[in-house]
Structures are given as structure tokens and as C-alpha cells.
Amino acid sequence: MSRRNRYRGAGITQHIYDRGNNKQIIFVDDIDRAAFMSSLFTRAADYEIALHAWVLMSNHFHILATPKHPGAISKFMQAVKSSYTQYFNSRHSRTGTLWEARFKQALSQDDNHILILYRYIELNPVRAGMVRGPRQYHWSSYHTNARLVPSENITPHPYYLLLGIDEFTRAQAYRNYVAGSFDKDKSQYEAEVAVLKTTAANLAVFGSEEFYKKLSAEIDYPITHFQRLTILAERYAAEEDEL
């Protein structure tokens, strides 16, 4: 079976996900995490990839990014994964593949979905039971997006910028949005997570019918279309309530 093509266009925000082979640990300690992030930031600058959000877990990572040039995401990910494999194998005296497979990507045009992805990515450590809140976890972009910790490597997404007139109001609005997942928006958030997990294994598109048709014309195999993640999540939550 031939390998499926990646979406190679530019200017489309993408949720990128990858993990270790057989779910093995790929970040043993903070030295490993620092090495990976150094490579990620360096290659993002090299290929002109705007990084909006990210998190490192023990055996996988998530990033939210927008490429400026066609084909840049694939080159970027290949460079990051190759360099980190060489580093990891050398440091931990091992050989062979480190990664499970080709990275997963989901494409988004929807403004609300972008913020859902911000929250989904940065709350990974909380869902995994590693910490009680995102502020307690060092290896994510939450500290920049919600706490205004300076980072020249993070580019606010245009839809994130709509949260407020300045960086302080935006950060406050985003903190409130994340906090909602623990109380008033908890059921909605849990439903969003459930829907996102079902799409993680395949190429999915979130956006208008026109957006979906445009991308479908550029990819040689079927892709899943979701017009509004929020609608799907609401349906999922309603079904759960009926059980």
C-alpha cells in the first residue's frame, strides 16, 4: 500500500501529533525535553513555521502551527524527528526507530476550533493526572499564552488575538477560558476531548464546506470533514446525559 500524501499547502493552521514507537518513552527527563524544544524552535525558524501552542508529554507531543510555505510542515517535522532521534539514541545508548509512525495532522479554519485546540493541547498534563492545573506543568506553552511568560518562539494565532485589545486582556480571557474546563464548561470540554480523540488517527478538516472541498482537491485520499467541533461536542454531551 502506498503512503498517503500529506497536505502540503501553506497558511492553514495544523494540529500536529506524534508519539514514540509502541508508545515508548521519548522524553526521559528535562534534559531530553530541552533538547527536543531547542530543535523544534530552531527548525520552526528555519522553515518559517509559526508555533502557537505546544506540550511535551512522556511518550508524545502536540503542537499547533501554521506554515508560511508549501511543504514546510513535512520538512520541518522530518528535520525535528531525525535530529532528536540521533540525539536520543546517542544519549541513551540505543539504536533503531524512535517514532511510531508518520505524524498526524488536523487542519483547521474554524476560529472557535483554534481556541479549543489551544486548550486541548495545554491541558494534556492535567488530563493525564500529572498535575492538578496547567500552571504546575513546565513543558507547555500555557505559561506564555495564559501567564505572559516571554517567548520569542511563540506566535499568537490571529484568532487568539481576538480575545482582547492587548496582551493582558487576552491572557486573562484565555485563562478564564481554560478555567472553564474545570467548572462551568466541564461537560462541554470533556465532550470536545472525546471528539478530538476520535479524529487523532486520521487527517481531519475543521471548517466550511468550501474549505473542505479546497483541501480535498489537493489530497489524494478521503479526509474527514467536521464543520463545527462545538456542535459535535454538544451532541456527544447530550448522548452521554441520556445514558
Predicted confidence at residue 173, as pLDDT, reads: 97
Task: Give CA–CA dist 155/52, Å, rounded.
Answer: 5
Domain count for the chain, please give it: 1
Question: Mean pLDDT for each 10-residue chunk of the chain (243 residues)?
Answer: 61 91 95 98 97 97 95 94 97 93 78 88 95 96 97 96 96 96 85 75 71 76 62 52 40
Task: Give CA–CA dist 41/48, Å, rounded.
Answer: 10
Within-domain flag for 4: no
Q: Which runs of consecutive H residues, i.e. helices, occur in the chain? A: 30-46, 72-91, 111-122, 124-127, 142-145, 158-161, 167-179, 186-199, 209-216, 229-242
DSSP letter assigned to residue 140: B
Using an 8 Å Cβ cutoff, are 17 and 77 in contact?
A: no
State the pTM of this model: 0.88
Pairing mode of beta strands 204-206, 224-226: parallel
Identify the CA nearest to 211 among candidates 223, 200, 221. 223
DSSP 149-163: ---TT----HHHHTT
User: Measured at the alpha carbon of residue 48, what is the angle toward residues 47 and 53, in degrees to the nearest 5?
Assistant: 110
Within-domain flag for 2: no
Phi/psi region, residue 203 (left: phi>0; alpha: psi -120 to 50; beta: rest), is beta
Give the length of the chain: 243
Within-domain flag for 216: yes
Predicted confidence at residue 106, as pLDDT, reads: 80
Domain that holds residue 137: 13-242
Helix 111-122 and helix 186-199, axial crossing angle in degrees, nearest 10:
90
Domain CATH for 216: 3.30.70.1290
Predicted confidence at residue 243, as pLDDT, reads: 36
Within-domain flag for 1: no
Grid cell for residue 106:
488536523
